[in-house]
Amino acid sequence: MSTDTDRRDQLRANLSRVQDAIAAACREAGRSPDSVRLIVVTKNFPAADAAVLVEEGQTDLGENRDQEAAGKAAELAAQGLTPSWHFVGQLQRNKTRSVASYASWVHSIDRTRLVDALDAAATAYGHSVNSLIQVSLDGDTSRGGVTIADLPALADRVAGAQSLRLRGVMAVAPIGWEPRKAFELLAECSRTVRNVEPAASEISAGMSGDYVTAIGCGTTMVRLGRNVLGEREPMA
Ligand SMILES: *Cc1c(COP(=O)(O)O)cnc(C)c1O
């Protein structure tokens, strides 16, 4: 058996195990399994892995760095593979043009200047970008996210943008917090955003270590890397 076949079998098994675990967590929470979307975060793994995942039926892939994401999106497109790309990392204004060219979702909108730049880029391409506002739940914005105090104004700004569709909120549980406390606070942030845009009901929360808790707290998008792909080695 070739290494490629081994890797495909491994990814298929991991994907199926994670799908089952998501379905079980949904049942446990009294939710429908199709109320949670799995985004597999392929950062630090090669385009070949991303291609296998798409061939195995995974439709949503996430990346956190533009350079890596742009390359993978192009490689997959060249093979006729067109997953929905989710940009989940901190975003610089000078990368918005590139990101808007391949990402159908951006999870990390956290300041007005970014809103304006991404909106201008999407408008230039003539398409719209599904936009989530990243919230810093503990108020420390050094790893991205808007403070809860500034969330309503930013939501207004995204809702008013020509080519951005306000779809909801995203967060990473702060280090040292009980995940449940983080995800319950994010659910409150979701209500704030739905006061601005009632259809913006997506909640992007839950990573490999805490997604079951996130599902119990109402998340609609889990972002899983290690659980599907294995432990990350820095890419050469
Ligand atoms: C890497 C990453 C993930 C996935 O993390 P895992 O622990 O590998 O599941 C999710 N969200 C963001 C923003 C990430 O950067």
Mutate to test the pocket of ligand 1, among 41, 44, 106, 110 (most ligand atoms within 8 A of CB): 41
Nearest ligand 1 atom, CA 107:
13
Rg (C-alpha) for the chain, rounded Å, is 17
Q: Is 86 exposed, middle or buried (0-12, 13-18, 19+ CB in 10 A)?
A: buried
**Domain coordinates of the chain in residue numbers?**
3-228
Could you give the dihedral angle defined by the CA atoms of residues 226, 34, 183 and 68, in that order, rounded to the nearest 10 degrees? 40
Which tokens hold the place of 73? Answer: 């999106």
Which residues, 6+ apart, have CB-to-CB distance to 101 below 8 Å? 70, 121, 125
CATH architecture of 3-228: Alpha-Beta Barrel (3.20)
Q: Which tens digit of pLDDT belongs to each residue from 49-87?
A: 999 999 999 999 999 999 999 999 999 999 999 999 999
Distance CA(3)–CA(27), nearest Å, equals 36
The verdict on the CB of residue 65 being under 6 Å from ligand 1 is no
The rounded Cα 130 to chain-centroid distance in angstroms is: 11
The verdict on the CB of residue 90 being under 6 Å from ligand 1 is no
Distance CA(85)–CA(102), nearest Å, equals 7
For every residue of 147-183, DSSP letters joined together read -TTTHHHHHHHHHH-SSEEEEEEE--PPTTS-HHHHH
Distance CA(84)–CA(61), nearest Å, equals 6
Q: What is the pLDDT of residue 29?
A: 97
pTM exceeds 0.85, yes or no:
yes
Q: Which tens digit of pLDDT belongs to each residue from 145-193?
A: 999 999 999 999 999 999 999 999 999 999 999 999 999 999 999 999 9
Three-class DSSP category at 108 = strand
Q: What is the pLDDT of residue 3?
A: 73
The verdict on the CB of residue 72 being under 6 Å from ligand 1 is no
Q: Which tens digit of pLDDT belongs to each residue from 118-131?
A: 999 999 999 999 99
Percent of residues, the chain, with pLDDT higher than 70: 97
Q: In terms of residues, how long is the chain? A: 236
Q: What is the pLDDT of residue 1?
A: 53
pLDDT band of residue 231 (cuts 50, 70, 90) is confident
Query: How far does residue 1's CA lie from ligand 1's centre (Å)?
Result: 31
- Name which of 201, 113, 220 is nearest 161 in CA terms: 113
Distance CA(23)–CA(28), nearest Å, equals 9
- Name which of 206, 209, 165, 166 is nearest 186 in CA terms: 206
